Amino acid sequence: MLFNSIDFAIFLPIVFILYWFVTDKNLKLQNFLIVAASYLFYGWWDWRFLSLILFSTIVDYTVGRQLRNEENQLKRKILLWTSILVNLGFLGFFKYYNFFLDNFVTAFAFFGQDIQANSLNIILPVGISFYTFQTLSYTIDVYKRKLEPTKDFIAFSAFVSFFPQLVAGPIERATHLLPQFYTKRTFDYSKAVDGMRQILWGLFKKIVIADNCAEFANQIFNNSADMNGSTLVLGALFFTFQIYGDFSGYSDIAIGTSRLFGFDLMRNFNFPYFSRDIAEFWRRWHISLSTWFRDYLYIPLGGSRGGTWMKVRNTFAIFIVSGFWHGANWTFIVWGALNAIYFLPLLLTNNNRNNLETVAQGKLLPSIKELSFMILTFGLTVFAWIFFRAENIGHAFSYISEIFSTSLFELPNFSSMRRALITISLTGIFLLIEWLGREGEYAIENIITFFKNNIVRWGIYIIIGLSIFIFGNFNKTEFIYFAF
């Protein structure tokens, strides 16, 4: 079920009414309603894959219970690896089976050995990368004794399948989200209003910015051989704002929806395109995944505590694995490696934690130095996104080679250029609003709070709503990260 669909517009108020007016007297019943609603939400896409979520839930719940009273370290490790292998086994089969098979065949062909192997027509379950990592956080934290294993199967099922963030995050830690299912929730009007406000902004990002940018990004990338260099730059910029509007828009809707039900989810985006270096960018982009890899991969590998070689190795490990997490394509691996290359000079010179505060905090405009570093970081990010979006490595290099040709100095030109100018203008307005609201949790949080007059605030809501209906792209485009 898509957030930007009529189905969800009907589904959400029904669940909201049942949650607060029918099951509000019984915590376990509330949690059961969340599980039922979450399974309906996910099953709307393909009910067959509900068995994967249920099986993963049962396995990790059982492993957690067994770890509770097990003191033998060998047996504890066996239990932990049971959870890891089951979860990553499902993820590996559905997401990477054909990738490894094709590369295996190609490798043997390179040495003159032809192997006959048939790929499988595998459908990737939506959100499997997200809920797999979420439930793994539970098992790992219980193993490390950072979290008491739950005895409440319904609460644990609700944690694993919580519908607002089930299919595209944020990837919640068990230590943060699971305890929220143990305590009675009471309706908080101010929290609900804030949630609706964030949902509205998320829908604007998705329907007005991301989906309109997607139309032109797809046209340019899919026909890149016929485009000049300046048009290809424009295509890369369209994709840059498509992926940000799409993914951060989803996170805004997920976080806002959770607030309607009395839950707090972690922040997933913090205005990443205003970053002054790549390290800051990765502290602000897909925060739930970055911190997951930091805590469960980077630090266990030794983090930055060792010598230069260990720092380089661990940095490449976390970025390449992050790239591979996004999909079974060499383009994602190159994208991850490229970001590691960007990051290494900062790490090796101990400058990776220089920019911890919001840029130009308390000021209207950045300094010339800040602006220069923001433009440089943004340019490096746009360049890396070309690999992320390209169909394959060859496509990426041909795309880039045409950018760095004499045609770069020609005017952009493609069939929808006039309509694209409207999207460019809307994106410019969007960037301005994001800049003005960059010190809030989301862009319009502080802007709305600044206006005390109810008429002015409602006027802003209406303008955003009308913008969605007038300029929105209502083709029910799936969120990009559903594919990951």
Domain ranges of the chain: 6-186, 191-276+355-483
d(CA 28, CA 175): 19
46 is written with which tokens? 């393909």
Residue 457 is predicted with a pLDDT of 83
Residue type present at position 145: R
Q: What is the pTM of this model?
A: 0.92
Beta carbons of 45 and 126 less than 8 angstroms apart: yes
* Cα angle value 14/156/86 (rounded, 5°): 120
Dihedral sign, Cα of residue 214, residue 216, residue 222, residue 225: negative
Residue 455 CA to its chain's centroid (Å):
35
Beta carbons of 350 and 332 less than 8 angstroms apart: no
Beta carbons of 275 and 366 less than 8 angstroms apart: no
Beta carbons of 347 and 340 less than 8 angstroms apart: no
Contacts of residue 109, Cβ cutoff 8 Å, sequence gap at least 6? 115
* Cα angle value 265/268/270 (rounded, 5°): 125
Residue 128 is predicted with a pLDDT of 87
Neighbours of 407 (CB within 10 A): 14
d(CA 277, CA 354): 9
Residue 129 is predicted with a pLDDT of 87
d(CA 258, CA 253): 8
Residue 116 is predicted with a pLDDT of 59
Query: Both ends of the chain: CA-CA distance in Å?
Result: 16
Beta carbons of 203 and 253 less than 8 angstroms apart: yes
Give catalytic residues, as residue numbers: 326
Residue 431 is predicted with a pLDDT of 96
Residue 215 is predicted with a pLDDT of 93
Beta carbons of 95 and 129 less than 8 angstroms apart: yes
Residue 120 is predicted with a pLDDT of 58
Residue type present at position 349: T
d(CA 106, CA 115): 9
d(CA 204, CA 447): 15
Residue 2 is predicted with a pLDDT of 84
Residue 45 is predicted with a pLDDT of 82
d(CA 209, CA 128): 26
The pLDDT > 90 percentage for the chain reads 72
10-residue block means of pLDDT along the chain (484 residues)?
87 96 92 96 87 93 92 93 92 74 55 60 77 93 94 96 90 94 92 94 95 94 93 96 95 96 96 97 95 91 82 92 88 95 93 92 94 97 96 95 92 86 95 94 81 80 92 79 68
Residue 327 is predicted with a pLDDT of 83
d(CA 195, CA 171): 19
d(CA 290, CA 278): 13
